[in-house]
Amino acid sequence: NDKCADCSAPEPDWASLNLGVLVCIECSGVHHNLGVHISKVRSLTLDEKVCEPSVISLFQSLGNTFANSVWEELLQSRIAFQIDLTPAL
């Protein structure tokens, strides 16, 4: 988890607690705008709950790569099956 789960920026310092990923400050803003029903964002340095041993253990066990493989599993298949609806010129 040395890179942001979304943009790969180094040393992310924010966590999406319900998605199980670490994100950078810029991506944390995007996650925040999604709403807490989608992504519950907390600072690794400012929010004490995030630094509890059980939470840290969970993030270390999952890792951003694994978490992204779960959340983005269908992304590639959806892209592969998109139909080009652009009218031919």
Q: Domains of the chain: which residue ranges? A: 1-53
pLDDT of residue 88: 59
The CATH number of 1-53, from 3.30.70.2190, 1.10.220.150, 1.10.3210.10, 3.30.310.50, is: 1.10.220.150
pLDDT confidence of 77, banded at 50, 70, 90? Answer: low
Instruction: Tell me the per-residue pLDDT of 30-73, one tens digit each, with 9 for 90 and over.
Output: 999 999 999 999 998 888 776 778 877 888 788 888 888 888 87
Residue 79 has pLDDT above 60, yes or no: no
Q: Which two tokens stand for residue 74?
A: 């269908």
Identify the CA nearest to 20 among candidates 54, 45, 9: 54
